[in-house]
Chain A
């Protein structure tokens, strides 16, 4: 049985329309106009037990709205959603018992109290067996390096410490499904690594199903075998990560800054222009055909280069390209 199932899941928001300025604001007060905005548009997918699925898309693509419908926070405008066989909104309390949710920058910890107080309270909310709780607490403290943080009030924690604490608070009641909405946003590499390792370990050992939204390709590569991509509310890709990596993983991107404006440029085979704007030039090249040094040398031979940088293609770029038809689900 699938853990999560959605069918034609749709959410339409009624958004008030306002003209700019005070006049517009006052006018909207007396003559409100609304526009329907479809945030999620007929999305159908299912997630099996123990899967880790990356749910990705550009900002405003409808990721968070989908997560909110899966968690029972929002009621779908139309379509179906089932989590562990339940309607998460109608059977909210029963559903909430089985799930854990991390919302990026929002906390479920008591801001003014020591972490241990929050964890103890959460154990009571979920009616955990005290022995099991002690056992898990010990394990989590060890895995997430929380030993020195247990007595610290959340308000005194750094972002990285807070997110580790948050993760512990979300998983301590052993939820069957975990939703992580941008869990690594703003974190440094070491904390990211630690969080990924922890999620991976939980998934492997307890079979927890994980749905993850992120802008960080590293999160996806490290954790997910499968990705679902949405754009403007529509599902545009659902399949293995490997297919995406094969298509895009071989590319690297170089950004050059020139001393003066440039017109034409000759490139070695395997390299192509992504954008060219005044003095800045962004190139993409296929690692299997050429190397960064060869591309850089070719450009430097032709122009006076002030600065350049090399980057992995980021997820939003990939999503954009996929949306433009670079990878069709049928083609996989």
Chain B
């Protein structure tokens, strides 16, 4: 464990050095997500000014749902963005071979290979939204609530990563796994809003099948003292652990079928 933390730090430093080689690129990348997020938040703000509540949810409450999801997403974006590139950047080119002859777990190596600074923008947006929401709503922030939210966000990040890993493993077969990952990943757009506004089927999918809701709606409801089943509000870490386990099995299955390139 300590070895892998040291290694992550080593790879992280390498990555920062590479990023500094292309300074302009770095600044654009780190700030562009901030702008993209600002635009999407602005659009919600414009709509919400016209409709004061969305199925009983005020704008400030929606910010909490949105913000928590954004924080989880940022963890995936910063630490596991390389899963998107497995197919075309590693398998197709044969670069994946390099990871397989190093004395490191190949999945760890893949993730550690590229810390993605674009995720910093998501993290900052998410944090701002959560803070703004809690302040506006005068929520009494107890240490327990802070710990609860931190655990939720980390678990939510794990859910994002595990789902991307399950779909990203298709890169061992289809070369460009991006569309496959996207199908599942884009479902998180629904989870930016309270699940109660959706038809039952969609809300069920986002709770039990592709459980992004466990990283946004349920924990937000819990923090705000809204009426949700506590089991679901507390299930996030358990579901995350389960998904991580499943995704790692799927990864190992893909790894066994890796067939490298011609030469």
Contact = CB atoms under 8 A, between A and B. Distances in A.
Interface of A: 13, 64, 68, 71-75, 92-94, 96-97, 99, 101, 103-104, 106, 108, 110, 112-113, 117, 121, 124-127, 153
A179 to B, nearest CB: 9
Nearest to B101: A101
A121 B104 contact: no
Contacts of A93: 103-105
Contact of A74 (B18, B21, B22, B259): B259
28 contacts: A64-B262, A68-B260, A71-B100, A71-B101, A72-B100, A72-B101, A73-B101, A74-B258, A74-B259, A93-B105, A96-B100, A96-B101, A96-B103, A97-B103, A99-B101, A103-B94, A103-B98, A110-B14, A112-B18, A117-B17, A121-B11, A121-B14, A124-B6, A125-B10, A125-B103, A125-B104, A126-B103, A127-B3
Interface string B5-16: 011001100100
Given A99-B101, A101-B101, 5 more contacts: A64-B262, A93-B105, A112-B17, A121-B10, A127-B3
Nearest to A60: B262
Given A104-B263, A124-B7, A113 B21 contact: yes
Contacts of A13: 259
Interface residues of B, number: 27
Contact of A125 (B7, B21, B22, B258): B7
A75 B256 contact: yes
Nearest to A64: B263
A113 B6 contact: no
Contacts of A72: 100-101
Contact of A92 (B97, B100, B263): B100
Interface in B195-217: none
A47 B259 CA distance: 25
B53 interface: no
B217 to A, nearest CB: 39
Interface in B106-145: 106
Closest 6 CB pairs of A and B: A97-B103, A96-B103, A112-B18, A73-B100, A101-B101, A112-B21
